[in-house]
Structure 1
Amino acid sequence: MTEPTDRTDATRTDDVKHMKWWGWGVEGVGFRHEDKPGFAPFVQKAIGLDLWAGERTERPDFSRLRVPASTASEEFVAVLSGIVGAGNTVVDDLSRVVHTYGKSLRDLVRIRAGEIARSPDVIVYPADEAEVQSIIDASVEADAVIIPFGGGSNIAGSLEPHMDESRVVVSLDLGRLNRVLEIDPDSGLARVQAGALGPDLEAQLNRDGWTMGHFPDSFTHSTLGGWVATRSSGMQSDKYGDIADIVKGLRVVRAGGVLVIRAVPSASTGPSVREMVVGSEGRLGVITEVTVQVHRLPEKRAIHAYFFKNLDHGLAAMQKIAESDVSPSVTRISDAHETAFSLATSKESKGIQKKAQTGLMAYLKRRGWSLDEMCLSFIGFEGDEAHVKRQKSLVDRIVRKHHGIGVGKGPGALYDQKKFDTPYIRDFLLDRGAAGDVSETAGPWSKLRGIHAAVYEAADRAYEKIGHAGWAMSHMSHSYHSGACLYFTFAFVFGDDPLGEYDIVKRAIQQAFIDAGGTISHHHGVGLEHAPWLEEDISTEGVAIMSGLFGAADPGGNFNPRKIVV
């Protein structure tokens, strides 16, 4: 066993990182379009929004918020302070607002409008598992509600207290539990505290030559515990697997004791309790430690870009890659709408680069391609030099058979640079009175094209119903032998009823997933947002089994109640 160097004492509460209360990321960082000449015309055409008119909404002012008063008694706060220390128990309004919602569009619209029906009453920052146990025991004894909090990036409504909750609500922030504890180099297993944010986790692993390889869109602002609790997927899941594949062991604090899942390669020990915890969104207890599969840092990593004539050719190529002996780290293809969006968000090309781009488009036209139908793909390779070369050679062969063309590593480098920036565009649109949100699904290869068409049709009907021009776009990612994930982005300008209009569009897309043979969520979780479709997804008996599990494991309903199933 090896223990990573540079170990320090437990993080102080003041050092725990949180996103800004009203939007994504940190203050001072945001999306700009002035250096992207194609973006404003694109948005004008897609949803009728004039970006040059400037912001339409005022920047949120915290002083205008009406935050419900904390219902936690002085005696209960004193009990919690006795466990974690007075400085690690907070009841101020800003801390409670930060811990009220996640970062879904619904969350951000409400927070910007000052709609806070119910906030956590007290925030606690434990330093270790023993303190988590004491907090939980004290909270259950007081019949309080416990909601685990990691990075706060959830977009499925998994964090907010129910508006009718009359009990004291405790937000248990794991931010101080942020260390890699131990690495077993023989097995490639690392014990990691659940509150570690993505960048901090990878930095600690990288120092010793390891990587977990898990990079969701929210990577910068989400935690290991949150990934496990919501069944997360990362951009490189084709190689490293989804979080359910990466998690090998768990420690979960419950009332009166700790659930321990030992890290073994495989086991025949009845229904998998590990699988019950993965995706449980805090309903079975608080995850404090995760043993994960880690890998040696690859010698070489490259993201190559390809263009396909249309989505049919591109999906067929992705399917063949999944069925082949190739093992890329990333297989992603954008449909024509998302390809147009990607090109519109690029900075202006100059000199040789501009000539090359113009020449490529002219070449594709001569080949009979419609530039309105072409699709951009990114495929990633990792390993030693020989492995990467062979993998790319095999992929290039498949791409050519499906009428695709490689365009090198330049666009791939830009993809790598921008991959965590997309959520900032949502705030940018909200500042201008427009919605931009996402929904994702997964389905068999045989149904992907049908799902794609069904979602577009449903979105168009919804836009017609709300009376606003709207936009939808999609990419395929996270390939499996039997199918893949389809990730949709949709946007429109708000009218007089932002959340009512949003609900119409969101419901239409979610229902289209089910009707066309997909699932309600591939990696964002269920929470409150997707719960209405759960029974259609896993059947009435499936919901009954899940309800029975939660009811038996938490008879008092103290652990994040009403999430996933009521």
Structure 2
Amino acid sequence: MTRSWWGWGNVEDAVVGAEADELVGRVAALLPEHDFTPHDPPAVADLDLKAPQVEVPASLAEIASADPEDRAAHTHGKAYRDVVRNLQGDLAHPPDLVLRPRSEQEVVDVLDWATSASVAVVPFGGGTSVVGGVEARFDGPAVSLDLGALDQVLEIDPVSRAARIQGGVLGPALEAQLRPHGLTLRHFPQSFEFSTLGGWLATRAGGHYATVLTHIDDLTESLRVVSPTGVGESRRLPGSGAGPSPDRMFLGSEGTLGIITEAWMRLQDRPRWRAGVTVDFDSFDAAVAATRAVAQSGLNPSNCRLLDPMEALLNVGSSTRGGLLVLAFESADHPVDVLLDRAIELARDHDGKPGERSVRDAAATAAETAGAGDPAEAWRSSFLRMPYQRDAVTRRSLIAETFETACTWDRFPTMHAAITTAAYDVMGALGITGVITCRFTHVYPDGPAPYYGVYASGRWGSLLPMWDEIKAGVSEAMTTHGGTITHHHAVGRDHAPWYARQRPDPFAAALRGAKAALDPAGILNPGVLGL
């Protein structure tokens, strides 16, 4: 497989042919006046990247690359605005070099050199940031520190059910190394195939579980971090009340305080029993109420995702008047049918209509488990294709991107209305048409994590300013009405203005103090988190 330098994933998996035609037809039904002429990405040889400004010492030459395609692929992340800039050949700030350390000592050596030479270091895991977290959006020399060579599970503790894992391992490679031991991290963000453990930790990624173990934080036992002032490793403990947590300082630090080279992660036995169902509702309010009832029940489903009618139609192909709730339970220890039964009762209390149940255990055959060919499986397949579909419509001048947040249940109706109104108001002011969708990716007893999709008819050459206006309008609405600027996409550079307003001033001062203590030369990922 060949990784795309300009867009998501593998070149061979791009949306083309009949799949592209079907996608365009579906969108054209909503936006019939749009010009769907495709625009091809430029060849790397035609990008005219500026020449590297720095050279590494001989001791680092073996791990350094100035290859144009390497530099192009490490210039941006994978946000909508990144894809647009790549398609238009706008790579104003490519890294001077890409460095691939093969050991922790080489990470130390890179930071020592960069500090002495005043060269910025932008940590790079899988490069899937959608918030401007891996680009050198500043003047001056910079290198991209690609940790992909640090990709091993180093040690497994089967008694405590934990593993010591290097930060550069991609999701599939991590699970492949755990599978022979009957264990799993069970953390599956949408970017799973192309993102790394270190990236999940540095951005506090959200994963597979809709309840309880929603963030990578919940699976972290200890961290090992290299900063310009030294190497630190926290003690492995199931829990501790010994002061502020050292791990919490680096979780979500997005490469501004140090490089996460290793982590001890809590594992689980691989699940044997699964049961799921989709529930249809006649009103969105009833669907939200049912989802809240399940979230507050203590049943802790592994999947509890609510799709509004437009989300269900566009991304699953299912028609619903009020919403579709996707429920699933799993366990390595016991059947989960009774848990699903109770969740269905709660949904029925709000006039939910359950579809066919999907039940699987370790002895079930493929034929016995396949039918449940229901919207839940359609949703999973669509979920993995969404980034590729985003690239396909972006090439055709569509605005297609997502916003995510979290709020308490009492604030959701007002915030939801404000976000929807803001998106349509901005589109109206821009003279474009579009739709907004909503789904809950994660739910907590005290609130949901709504995830919004915006699909609008853009104009080639004006896509970025249009997107920036929609981004600003929606971000203002969600933060003004009690939501967070991000639930699991991180802050990066794109969310920094709203993050600065969300965090308390004393905490901001403490964070700047930590930055000064750990990175006194300010070389680590300048601009991320507003640092």
Normalising by structure 1, we get a TM-score of 0.87
Q: For the structure 1 residues 37 and 502, does the alpha-carbon distance in structure 2 shift closer, same or farther, using more than 3 Å as the test?
A: closer
Find the counterpart in structure 2 of residue 223 from structure 1.
196
- Who is 1:500 aligned against? 465
In structure 1, what is the Cα distance between the partners aligned to 2:222 and 2:37? 48
The aligned runs of 1:238-257 (5 Å cut-off) are 238-257=211-230
Q: Secondary structure at the match of 2:418?
A: helix
1:21 to partner: Cα distance: 0.7
Structure 2 residues without counterparts, runs of 5 or longer: 357-371
**Counterparts of residues 136-285 of structure 1 (less than 5 Å):** 136-164=111-139, 166=140, 168-285=141-258
Q: Deviation of residue 35 (structure 1)?
A: 5.7
Residue 204 of structure 1 aligns to a residue whose secondary structure is helix
Name the CA distance, whole Å, in 2 between partners of 1:329 and 1:466. 40
In structure 2, what is the equivalent of residue 317 of structure 1? Answer: 290
Q: Bigger shift: 20-29 or 539-548? A: 539-548
Q: Secondary structure at the match of 1:213?
A: coil
Q: CA shift at 1:313, angstroms?
A: 1.0
Change (3 A) 1:47 1:217: same
Question: Aligned residue for 1:130?
Answer: 105
Contact 2:210 2:301 in 1 (8 A): no
2:203–2:489 Cα contact (<8 Å) kept: yes
Quick one: distance in 2 between partners of 1:34 and 1:562?
42
- How many Å separate the matches in 2 of 1:59 and 1:118? 18
- Alignment of 1:100 onto 2:75: yes
Contact 1:33 1:39 in 2 (8 A): no
Question: Contact conserved, 1:307 with 1:407, CA < 8 A, in 2?
Answer: yes
Structure 1, 175-184 or 32-41: larger mean CA deviation: 32-41
Structure 1 CA distance for aligned equivalents of residues 143 and 250 of structure 2? 21
Instruction: Write out per-residue CA displacement over residues 434-475 of structure 1, whole angstroms, 9 at most, x where no aligned residue.
Output: 121011000001112222111110000010111100211010
Shift of 1:78: 2.2
Distance in 1 of aligned mates of 2:473 and 2:51: 37
User: Which residue among 89, 107, 110 is the counterpart of 1:114?
Assistant: 89
Q: Counterpart of 2:476 in 1: which secondary structure?
A: helix
CA contact (8 A) 1:240 1:246 kept: yes
Does residue 295 of the first structure (1) align with residue 268 of the second (2)?
yes
Give distance in 1, aligned partners of 2:354 and 2:53.
Answer: 60
> What does residue range 14-93 of structure 1 map to in structure 2 within 5 Å?
19-31=3-15, 34=18, 39-48=23-32, 55-73=37-55, 76-81=56-61, 86=62, 88-93=63-68
Q: Is the 8 A contact 1:209 1:297 kept in 2?
A: yes
1:195 is aligned with what amino acid? G
> Could you tell me whether the CA contact under 8 Å between 1:214 and 1:237 is conserved in 2?
no
Helix, strand or coil at the partner of 2:89? coil
Runs of 4+ in structure 1 deviating by more than 6 angstroms, as ranges, are none
CA contact under 8 A between 2:44 and 2:72: conserved in structure 1?
Answer: no
Q: 2:181, 2:272 → 1: CA distance?
A: 14
SS of alignment partner, residue 28 of structure 2: helix
Letter in 2 for 1:64: D
Distance change (3 Å), C-alpha of 1:548 and 1:393: same
1:278-310, Cα deviation, whole Å (9 max, x unpaired)? 000101111100111100001123442221122
**Following the alignment from structure 2 to structure 1, what is the Cα–Cα distance between the partners of residues 25 and 60?**
54
The alignment's TM-score, normalised by the length of structure 2, stands at 0.92
Shift of 1:481: 1.6
**1:130–1:98 CA distance, 2 compared to 1 (3 A):** same
* Preserved CA contact (<8 Å) 1:133 1:256: no
CA spacing shift, 1:483–1:18, aligned 2, 3 Å: farther
2:148 maps to a residue whose letter is G
For 2:90 and 2:212, locate their aligned partners in 1 and report how far apart those are by CA, in whole Å. 42
Instruction: Say whether the 8 Å CA contact 1:100–1:159 is kept in structure 2.
Output: yes
Q: Which amino acid aligns with 1:304?
A: V
Measured in 2, the distance between the counterparts of 1:47 and 1:229 equals 38
More off after superposition, 507-516 vs 239-248: 239-248
Shift of 1:488: 0.6
Q: Report SS of the residue matched to 1:44.
A: helix
Deviation of 1:172 after TM superposition, in Å, equals 1.1
Q: Which residue type is aligned with residue 391 of structure 1? A: L
Residue aligning to 2:421: 457
| Structure 1 residue aligned with 2:362 | none
After superposition, the C-alpha distances for 1:512-565 in whole angstroms (9 at most, x for unaligned) are: 111111000000000111001113212333333322322232121011111111
Q: Deviations over 1:167-211 (max 9, x none)?
A: x31211111111111111111111110001011111111221011
Cα distance per residue 1:216-268 (max 9 Å; x no partner): 11111100000011110013242533111111110111124211112201122
Q: Which amino acid aligns with 1:526?
A: V
Q: SS where residue 471 of structure 1 aligns? A: strand
Structure 2 contact 9–388 (Cα < 8 Å) conserved: yes
SS at match of 1:298: coil
Determine if the alignment matches structure 1 residue 377 to structure 2 residue 352.
Answer: no
Give the SS at the match of 1:521.
Answer: coil
SS at match of 2:444: coil
Q: Contact 1:118–1:161 (CA<8 Å) still a contact in 2?
A: yes
- Rounded to whole Å, the distance in 2 between the matches of 1:204 and 1:97 is 31
Residues of 2 paired with 1:284 and 1:161: CA distance?
16
- Going from structure 1 to structure 2, the CA distance change for 1:41 and 1:26 (only over 3 Å counts) comes to closer
Contact 1:451/1:516, CA 8 A, preserved across alignment: yes
Amino acid at match of 1:93: P
Change (3 A) 1:111 1:59: closer
Q: Please report how far the alpha carbon of residue 419 of structure 1 lies from its aligned counterpart in structure 2 after TM superposition.
A: 2.7
Shift of 1:54: 5.6
Q: In structure 2, what residue type is equivalent to 1:244?
A: D
2:443 counterpart SS class: coil
Name the residue aligned to 1:543. Answer: 508
Higher mean displacement: 139-148 or 507-516: 139-148
Indicate the residue corresponding to 2:431 in structure 1.
Answer: 467
Partner of 1:425: 389
What is the aligned counterpart of 1:436 among 390, 400, 403? Answer: 400
Give 1:400 shift. 0.8
Contact map agreement 2:76 2:135 (CA 8 A) in 1? yes
CA distance in 1 between counterparts of 2:22 and 2:121 reads 47
SS in 2 for 1:422: helix
Cα separation, 2, equivalents of 1:270 and 1:463: 48
**Identity across the alignment (%):** 34
The residue aligned with 2:366 is none
- CA 1:48–1:530 in structure 2 vs 1: closer, same or farther (change >3 Å)? farther
Take 2:31 and 2:471, find their aligned partners in 1: how far apart are those partners? Answer: 17
Is residue 410 of structure 2 the alignment partner of residue 446 of structure 1? Answer: yes
Where does residue 359 of structure 1 map in the other structure? Answer: none
Shift in CA distance, 392/100, structure 1 to aligned 2, threshold 3 Å: same
Paired residues, what number? 514
2:161 maps to amino acid: G
For the 8 Å contact 2:316–2:382, the answer to whether it is kept is no
| Contact 2:270 2:332 survives alignment (8 Å) | no
Which residues in structure 2 correspond to 1:331-350 (within 5 Å)?
331-344=304-317
Change (3 A) 1:141 1:465: same
Using the TM superposition, give the Cα deviation of residue 116 of structure 1 relative to its aligned residue in structure 2, in angstroms: 1.5
